[in-house]
Amino acid sequence: MMNITNVSEYEAIAKEKLPKMIYDYFASGGEDQWTLKENRNAFSRIMFRPRILIDVSKIDLTTTVLGFKISMPIMIAPTAAQKMAHPEGEYATARAASAAGTIMTLSSWATSSIEEIVSTGPGIRFLQLYLFKDRNMVIELVRRAENAGFKAIVLTADSPVIGRKEASIKNRLTIIAKFHLNS
């Protein structure tokens, strides 16, 4: 078993273990990857303010999001097509979020259905949703999420078109436009 000591090591392991086409899909950004670079730069500027000579024996990271208490101020963002990276895909993510006491947001591009995610056990779940042209599909997804106990809809309104991922173009990777959530 590998002894991972920091987050960046996960990327190196993924690059080693995943087929190039799949790794590139998850690791790359759109166009010239400008936003990806800017996001990494922004995160690198986040600094922790050390607190010296204070009692840290009882630290409480709990917080609330939309009235739901979670164990830490970290949630799992929607991530598409997780089963391309691992057969457990979103199932493992749902179980991990539950075990960590935080919220998982299921992607509209998930490779597991709403009902399959609920079958993994308890947890606070949100559904990420695009404004699809087919409004009946949107209504059906919202109803299914509500019936399955999902607690919120995370609306993605900044993607009127799918981003042009150059790595996927070079690798000739095409994601079939079939939303597993709608199956």
Rg (the chain; Cα; Å)? 18
Residue 21 is predicted with a pLDDT of: 86
| pLDDT tens per residue, range 140-179 | 999 999 999 999 999 987 665 666 667 666 766 665 444 4
Q: From CA 90, how far away is CA 106, in angstroms rounded?
A: 8
Please give the model's pTM, rounded to 2 decimal places: 0.82
Residue ranges of domains in the chain: 8-182
pLDDT at 175: 59
Q: From the centroid of its chain, how far is CA 183?
A: 20
CA distance 75 to 5: 21
Contact between residue 153 and residue 131 where contact means Cβ atoms under 8 Å apart: no
pLDDT tens for each residue of 78-102: 998 999 899 999 999 999 999 999 9
Domain 8-182 belongs to what architecture?
Answer: Alpha-Beta Barrel (3.20)
Neighbours of 23 (CB within 10 A): 19
